[in-house]
């Protein structure tokens, strides 16, 4: 299984000795229809997107090309530690920006917009959804004060202004560094199922003001100029007019992203979304210094200035927890693991009541890390109920330990051989804790690590 991020789609890498593919599951058939239709169209237009291999009859499952694990964001994070925001990173961004006009103009010209979901265009309704998402899931949860009617009036004015921009192009919608894959010295694109008709400026704003990518302002301007030069290969460009609208689309994109950070972070308590907030505020502060729009937005500007000056919000997600959670899988035949922290242990969960895949010949040489075993446990056992109870107990301690500044917690899962049920349980709990709490997680598969 691959880790989930901001959506409810589930992905798994599966394969044999000669190849791997990515399997996807999503209950939202309309979203899948958009993704599959766009994928086939873009692929046939020569855009680097994953090839679709197979689709289930209910349109909820599909197999696509495996593009590896290296996203543009992962690459820049790794390289930046050694080289800073170097020419190596900039060259990757230029590859992306060379492809963007082709996606927007050439591929977008005859794409089937009837499959767009949830809207065919980034229209008034779409903009108001984004602005209200920002209002209800960020401003209110961040306890920022505002005059609701005055802000609503500004939202109407602001969206009307943005709608006056030319919007006959394919808008990718979530064009950011985590949705660009690097493979074989080329760039590939994923997660465009939200695509629709829209303005050119939006996707450029999404990429250049991508929060945690934290692109330096001088590099951002360099990349903006590069995009304009690439765009001119396809159409005439009024640079002054393009730039004026660009600032407006940067602003709505930042607000849309902050709505997502609020919903996933404040509401769903997912730590990695909270960590993006200070970067978004930094971008907002830079934008406000030179924000010249031909419409008056007094209450919106007031709210944005409050946000950019909030020291509390700037610190969110920046403090690293000192709590380390050690999760161990083990075999009861070899005894319960010792707690190396010296705290005398923690939780020990007995998985032996769960239906054991190890009793069947086809699973004996596999472990809880193998897809076949995972499917067995998820479909033919009460593992889900068992793990939910374990999560609830551990979560109760994690919350208290974080509040009190404790440094260590151990959790162990035992089964007969320490190979199937305990390994699966340990990995699932680790994934849950890493996605939801600011903790350091160490996973040890005591028997499996010494197996084979």
| pLDDT per position as a tens digit, 321-361 | 678 999 999 999 999 998 877 777 799 999 999 999 999 99
Rounded Cα distance between 210 and 89, Å, is 15
236 and 356 together in one domain = no
303 and 337 together in one domain = no
In-domain check, residue 265: yes
* The pLDDT of residue 318: 57
Q: Going by C-beta distance under 8 Å and a sequence separation of 6 or more, which residues neighbour residue 360?
A: 376
Cis peptide before 118 (omega within 30 of 0): yes
Number of structural domains the chain divides into: 3
In-domain check, residue 101: no
What global pTM score does this model have? 0.73
* The pLDDT of residue 272: 78
Task: Give 288-329 pLDDT, tens digit per residue.
Answer: 998 999 999 999 999 999 999 887 787 775 555 678 999 999
CATH number at residue 16: 3.30.200.20
38 and 128 together in one domain = no
171 and 304 together in one domain = yes
- Locate 130 and state its tokens: 């984004």
Q: Is the pLDDT of residue 396 over 70?
A: yes
Domain boundary among 263, 294, 315: 315
Domain boundary among 263, 295, 315: 315
Rounded Cα distance between 115 and 356, Å, is 44
Task: Please tell me the number of Cα atoms within 13 Å of 381 on its side-chain side.
Answer: 22
In-domain check, residue 75: no
In-domain check, residue 367: yes
Rounded Cα distance between 42 and 34, Å, is 12
In-domain check, residue 376: yes
Q: pLDDT class for 269, splitting at 50, 70, 90?
A: confident
Q: Is the pLDDT of residue 435 over 50?
A: yes
Q: Is 410 helix (H, G, I), strand (E, B) or coil?
A: strand
Rounded Cα distance between 329 and 333, Å, is 12
Q: Is the pLDDT of residue 2 over 80?
A: yes
Q: Give the pairing type, strands 440-445 and 324-331.
A: parallel
**β-strand partners of 348:** 412
- Locate 307 and state its tokens: 């946000």
* The pLDDT of residue 93: 98
350 and 281 together in one domain = no
Rounded Cα distance between 96 and 392, Å, is 43
214 and 268 together in one domain = yes
* The pLDDT of residue 340: 79
344 and 417 together in one domain = yes
> How distant is the alpha carbon of residue 421 from its chain centre?
29
Q: Is 174 helix (H, G, I), strand (E, B) or coil?
A: coil
Average pLDDT in the 270-278 region? 84
The runs of H, that is alpha helices, within 102-216 are 124-134, 148-162, 200-208
Q: Give the pairing type, strands 61-65 and 20-25.
A: antiparallel
Rounded Cα distance between 452 and 367, Å, is 11
Helices 87-101, 200-208: crossing angle, 10 deg rounding:
160
**Structural domain boundaries, residue 37:** 10-65
274 and 139 together in one domain = yes
Which regions of 332-373 does DSSP assign to beta strands (E)? 347-350
CATH number at residue 271: 3.90.1200.10
Rounded Cα distance between 123 and 165, Å, is 11
Percent share of the chain, pLDDT over 90: 78
Mean pLDDT of the chain: 93
Q: Going by C-beta distance under 8 Å and a sequence separation of 6 or more, which residues neighbour residue 428?
A: 387
Q: Is 324 helix (H, G, I), strand (E, B) or coil?
A: strand
Rounded Cα distance between 362 and 321, Å, is 42
284 and 352 together in one domain = no
Answer for the pair 92, 181: CB distance below 8 angstroms, yes or no: no
Domain boundary among 315, 349, 367: 315
Task: Give 139-167 pLDDT, tens digit per residue.
Answer: 998 889 999 999 999 999 999 999 999 99
- Locate 390 and state its tokens: 């374990």
Task: Give 192-240 pLDDT, tens digit per residue.
Answer: 999 999 999 999 999 999 988 999 998 999 999 999 999 999 999 999 9
In-domain check, residue 77: no
141 and 271 together in one domain = yes
Average pLDDT in the 48-52 region? 98
Q: Going by C-beta distance under 8 Å and a sequence separation of 6 or more, which residues neighbour residue 429?
A: 327, 387, 390, 391, 394, 411, 413
Percent share of the chain, pLDDT over 70: 98
In-domain check, residue 221: yes
Looking at the chain, the number of H-run helices and the number of E-run strands are 15, 12
Rounded Cα distance between 248 and 205, Å, is 9
Answer for the pair 196, 121: CB distance below 8 angstroms, yes or no: yes
In-domain check, residue 128: yes
158 and 299 together in one domain = yes
370 and 255 together in one domain = no
Q: Is the pLDDT of residue 379 over 60?
A: yes
Q: Look at residues 165, 191, 187 and name the one whose alpha carbon lies nearest to residue 246.
A: 165
Task: Give 54-106 pLDDT, tens digit per residue.
Answer: 999 999 999 999 999 999 999 998 888 778 889 999 999 999 999 999 999 99
Q: Is the pLDDT of residue 431 over 50?
A: yes
């Amino acid at each position: 299984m691959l880790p989930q991020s901001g959506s409810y789609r589930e992905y798994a890498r599966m394969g044999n000795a000669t190849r791997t593919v990515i399997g996807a599951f999503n209950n939202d058939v309309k979203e899948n229809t958009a993704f599959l239709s766009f994928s086939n169209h873009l692929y046939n237009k020569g855009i680097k997107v994953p090839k679709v291999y197979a689709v289930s009859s209910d349109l909820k499952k599909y197999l696509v090309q495996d593009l590896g694990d290296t996203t543009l964001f992962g690459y820049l994070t790794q390289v930046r530690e050694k080289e800073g925001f170097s020419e190596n990173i900039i060259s990757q961004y230029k590859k992306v920006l060379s492809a963007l006009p082709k996606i927007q103009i050439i591929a977008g010209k005859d794409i089937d917009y009837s499959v767009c979901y949830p809207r065919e265009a980034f229209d008034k309704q779409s903009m108001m959804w984004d602005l209200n998402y920002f209002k209800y899931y960020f401003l209110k949860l961040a306890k920022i004060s505002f005059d609701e009617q005055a802000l609503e009036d500004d939202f109407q004015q602001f969206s009307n202004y943005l709608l006056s921009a030319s919007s006959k192009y394919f808008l990718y919608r979530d064009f950011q560094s985590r949705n660009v894959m690097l493979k074989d010295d080329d760039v590939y694109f994923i997660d465009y199922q939200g695509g629709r008709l829209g303005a050119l400026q939006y996707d450029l704003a999404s990429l250049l003001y991508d929060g945690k990518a934290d692109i330096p302002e001088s590099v951002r301007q360099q990349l903006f100029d590069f995009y304009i030069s690439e765009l001119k290969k396809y159409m005439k460009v009024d640079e002054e007019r393009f730039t004026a609208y660009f600032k407006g689309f940067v602003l709505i994109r930042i607000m849309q992203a902050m709505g997502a950070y609020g919903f996933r972070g404040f509401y769903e308590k997912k730590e990695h979304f909270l960590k993006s907030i200070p970067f978004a505020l930094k971008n907002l502060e830079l934008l406000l210094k030179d924000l010249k729009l031909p419409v008056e937005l007094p209450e919106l500007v007031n709210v944005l200035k409050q946000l950019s000056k909030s020291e509390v919000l700037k610190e969110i997600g920046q403090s690293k927890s000192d709590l380390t959670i050690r999760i161990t899988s083990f075999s009861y035949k070899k005894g319960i693991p010792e707690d190396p922290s010296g705290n005398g242990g923690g939780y020990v969960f007995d998985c032996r009541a769960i239906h054991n895949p190890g009793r069947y010949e086809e699973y004996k040489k596999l472990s809880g890390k193998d897809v076949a075993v995972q499917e067995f446990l998820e479909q033919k056992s009460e593992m889900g109920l068992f793990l939910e109870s374990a999560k609830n107990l551990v979560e109760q301690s994690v919350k208290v330990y974080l509040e009190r500044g404790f440094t260590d917690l151990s959790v162990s899962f035992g089964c007969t051989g320490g190979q199937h049920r305990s390994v699966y349980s340990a990995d699932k709990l680790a994934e849950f804790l890493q996605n939801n709490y600011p903790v350091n997680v160490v996973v040890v598969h005591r028997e499996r690590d010494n197996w084979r």
